[in-house]
Chain A
Amino acid sequence: MNAPTPTRAEREAALKGMGFSRRRTEDARFIQGKGNYVDDIKLPGMLFGDFVRSPYGHARIKKIDVSKATALPGVVAVLTAEELKPVKLHWMPTLAGDVQMVLADGKVLFANQEVAFVVAQDRYIAADAVELVEVEYELLPPLVDPFKSMAPDAPVLREDIKDKKDGAHGPRKHPNHIFEWTIGDKAAADKAFAEAPVTVKELISYQRVHPMPLETCASLASMDKIKGELTVWGTFQAPHVVRTVAAILSGIPEHKIRVISPDIGGGFGNKVGVYPGYVCSIVASIVLGVPVKWVEDRLENLSATAFARDYHMTTELAATKDGKILGLRCHVLADHGAFDACADPTKWPAGFFNIVTGSYDIPAAHVAVDGVYTNKAPGGVAYRCSFRVTEAAYAIERIVDVLAQKLNMDPAELRLKNFIQPQQFPYKSALGWEYDSGEYPTAMKKAMETVGYQALRAEQAQKREAFKRGETRELMGIGVAFFTEIVGAGPSRNCDILGIAMFDSAEIRVHPTGAAIARFGTKSQGQAHETTYAQIIATETGIPADLIAVEEGDTSTAPYGLGTYGSRSTPVAGAACARAARKIHAKAKKIAAHLLEVSENDLEFDVDRFQVKGLPEKMKTMKEVCWAAYNNVPAGMEPGLEAVDYYDPPNMTYPFGAYICVVDIDVDTGSAKVRRFYALDDCGTRINPMVIEGQVHGGLTEAFAIAMGQEISYDATGNVQGVTLMDYFVPTAVETPVWETDHTVTPSPHHPIGAKGVGESPNVGGVPAFSNAVIDAFKHLGVTHMQMPHDAWRVWKTAEKLGLVK
């Protein structure tokens, strides 16, 4: 007996396409301990590498004696810069156009810098041997404060380029200067400030932090000398770029290199760059002809690979007395550490910092960024944000609050007064971007209504009075942030990495039984690509998501792509996915017309089938069409059902959101308790609401960590401090607030499915929301700004200075 014909709703439910909170296909392996991360991979004869690291921030190397280490049984090799020189791998190019030492060449420039690479039979012996390498150092004066980098008497850090007047991004003003990047109309901005009745100015610093994914960086290189083939497994957010760079550096032809990113235990920007550990494991394997694994420990991770932020932003606004913003100026001092290893698109030394005009219609603006060297670790990655976008959002969202305070206006009201209006989109900003779409006032008002904003302000006023009367020791703060992100790098006209345009790719192969495999140039580190890409294909083709396998990360099978960071997977590869699926759809339609003996124009698509218009019972399911693609196609058509798409986006996408945070601060302890956090995100079309909500929860938690406690600091001698989990703040379930999420939907007009990307929005909007909330608690006492992180000590110091502490 035939099963009853499924209803349309049943067919949609079986499809699990876009908009459906589909459970993740990834989870089965992770919940059973069957994930496959780099350190889980073992190869016969595999050796382990470990680093000897510098105990000093700035020192000359007088001598390295490896004799005791090499004499230790089980030690196979000890590499120093001397061993790497003949193969010219003692230095490597960075993504930012600078060069970086792989192993210390003559001097060390930051604490925990890589000095020698020990290779041994197991990780215990390697650790023993690290202790046996004797290095003689001659201390040099450390340069820690970026504000002193360009002083006339500052120690010259980079002797290799001390006489170079020009760097990768133009003229250098000082041996410790990397670049100056300017954008905007300076004359127009200066005029706005000269004429404006009200101006504000604040030095807004965003401290040095670290993304700290739970899995540290790791690689396993295996050189097959007979075949001349190199295979590298690694924690790579961008495996295809790693292969290209490895080919250029090693001289091994690109087709003889296979790079595999297996499961990745979180990335958050940490796993975009190329690190000495990757290079050393590869070189060691090439030299020794056996597999060599390198896994960094947590201390190494926090102190040597990929810091983020360290932006010191002197930000100014000019406005009318009733709060119309007329101009913005911002000067940034960017501390890049010892080498410029920023992971930005090559032409953008300060990333997309020029999104700093935010969500506001600001007629005149000018930005200048000076990058400088210091004796700190290199990096400058985008920790859960698009390139330098969280820094920009923090600067504008803080300075708007400062202006509101000066004008004695409510910060939400000031924002509403200056928003880019819906009819202004596409909106060309004073700093050169074309915002694609936005409904800012709608989102802001929805957020205010949902939290009961006016009632919260009234409660705050009452609490302040009660505090004055001595009835409470708590101050209440309300933080408002309205962010606009710029993600989805990016159009080839302005975005490339080392000359490779930042497109991305999708390849779909449909099998005869109506199942499919799809491969992408991106690489999930927890973002659920295996689940969500399949949903896009399901909606576009009618193939159920459960019958679509998604693969990424193996350069031998996946199409070339630029990887996953800067919220680019959905805007770029997601678009390629939809377009490839539409190519499948178009061919399937032709086959269906052929099978039904009608014209293509007589067919309409309905969930999982093509049916004749007006005669829905005359139809072919996608499953039937897939089978026919392999045995009964129209005359002249190639058999098979496959498609590839390489997508070069016409523009970035601009997700936005309204966040409101309420904190209660105990002035005697300095502890700031988050009472409520409401996050409204507009990421355009929503592919999987469950996954979006999960991304927002995670991003808010990382924002909370940054705003309330994270900091990688250095003492005056260049020692790096607080780089284990004993000190570096990573919130547990106890500290983490409960999140309220909400959304509006304003599709991107240029993206094939209207999606904008969401993974990083909560970090970008979250940090200023927390910061504004803490500072808001003290505003009535004249406080305009407080330096992050807002840990109990810093907040208590503010209260103490204000004379609030008894």
Chain B
Amino acid sequence: MSNPAKTRVTINVNGKDMSAEVEPRTLLIHFLRENLNLTGPHIGCETTHCGACTVDLDGRSVKSCTLFAVQAEGSKVVTIEGMAAADGSLHPLQAAFAEHHGLQCGFCTPGMITRAYRLLQENPTPTDEEIRFGIAGNICRCTGYQNIVKAIRSAAQVMAGQPRKEAAE
């Protein structure tokens, strides 16, 4: 029921310790969006299927709509807002999504890029099939995924130090 006692949680988000009083039932996605105003991660369903809320938590991809904020106490969380370098330069994945038209409406993009980031940490040289499997927890309704796969493949090459291949046309 409403107004249960609030709990203080402290979570390291994008490199900074962030602290707030939350209800025990407050979802991590609402902590990020409502308490911290990090509106990059989105909510697209309530069944852990769409992946729009994906963030990185202690080196794993998690769907922040399916975790309570209190479960993330003391953890390190990275959201899309923490993906670019401190000097503002884009992460190779961010650059590649724009270069290869890997997004349209943009709603899945923060979750998709955050997921792809972890995928490439785990498997720096994925095949197309591995990329498709690796992002199967993230739904995109606009692109048909083909250009997302291309973008992730291209970012993997850039991160491995290979020369960047120009997109077609």
Contact = CB atoms under 8 A, between A and B. Distances in A.
A39 B52 CA distance: 13
A208 interface: no
Given A32-B94, A724-B47, A698 B101 contact: no
B106 A733 contact: no
A634 interface: no
Contacts of A40: 33, 39
Interface in A90-146: 123-125, 128
B52 A214 contact: yes
B107 A37 contact: yes
Interface string A715-752: 00000000011100010111010110000000000000
Given A128-B2, A214-B107, A24 B49 contact: no
Contacts of B137: 732
B103 A27 contact: yes
Interface string B54-96: 0000000000000000000000000111011000001000110
Nearest to A41: B39
A698 B107 contact: no
B80 A734 contact: no
A27 B143 CA distance: 14
Contact of A526 (B3, B49, B106): B106
B44 A215 contact: yes
A694 B106 CA distance: 13
A414 interface: no
A32 B44 contact: no
A44 to B, nearest CB: 14
A151 to B, nearest CB: 38
Contacts of B80: 31-33
B139 to A, nearest CB: 5
Interface in A624-678: none
A699 B80 CA distance: 27
A287 B38 CA distance: 31
B105 A213 contact: yes
Contacts of A125: 2-3
A74 B3 CA distance: 9
Contacts of A806: none
B42 A21 contact: no
Contacts of B140: 214, 733
Contact of A31 (B25, B43, B98): B98
A689 B99 contact: no
Interface stretch (A192-200, A259-267, A367-375): A259-267
Contacts of A693: 101
Contacts of A712: none
Contacts of A212: 141
Given A31-B109, A266-B141, A725 B2 contact: no
Contact of A733 (B38, B90, B142, B149): B149
B148 A733 contact: yes
Contact of B79 (A33, A525, A697, A730): A33
Contacts of B101: 23-24, 690-691, 693-694
Contacts of B26: 124
A227 interface: no
Nearest to B40: A33
Nearest to A263: B106
A726 B47 contact: yes
A546 interface: no
Contacts of A730: 49-50, 139, 141
A73 B168 CA distance: 59
B106 A29 contact: yes
B169 A21 contact: yes
A563 to B, nearest CB: 16
Contact of B40 (A32, A691, A739): A32
B144 A526 contact: no
B28 interface: no
A724 B109 CA distance: 21
A46 to B, nearest CB: 11
A702 B81 contact: no
A214 B44 CA distance: 5
Contacts of B83: 32-33
A298 B47 contact: yes
Interface string B116-129: 00000000000000
Given A297-B46, A733-B136, A74 B104 contact: no
Nearest to A700: B144
Contact of A35 (B23, B107, B132): B107
A216 interface: yes
Nearest to A36: B39
Nearest to B131: A733
A216 B45 CA distance: 8
Interface in A537-565: none
Contacts of B95: 31
Nearest to B148: A733
A734 B132 contact: yes
A689 B144 contact: no
A129 B13 CA distance: 32
Given A27-B98, A32-B80, A124-B2, A265 B144 contact: no
Interface in A685-709: 689-691, 693-694, 697-702
> Nearest 3 pairs between A and B by C-beta?
A33-B40, A30-B106, A265-B107
Given A124-B26, A724-B47, 13 more contacts: A21-B169, A33-B41, A33-B80, A33-B110, A39-B33, A124-B2, A124-B25, A125-B3, A128-B1, A725-B49, A733-B148, A736-B144, A738-B146
27 contacts: A21-B167, A23-B98, A26-B106, A32-B90, A32-B94, A34-B40, A35-B107, A39-B39, A124-B2, A212-B141, A213-B107, A216-B44, A265-B105, A268-B141, A297-B46, A690-B101, A690-B167, A697-B143, A701-B144, A701-B145, A724-B47, A725-B49, A732-B137, A732-B139, A732-B145, A733-B140, A738-B146
Interface of B: 1-3, 23, 25-26, 30, 33, 37-47, 49-50, 52, 79-81, 83-84, 90, 94-95, 97-99, 101, 103-110, 113, 131-133, 135-149, 167-169
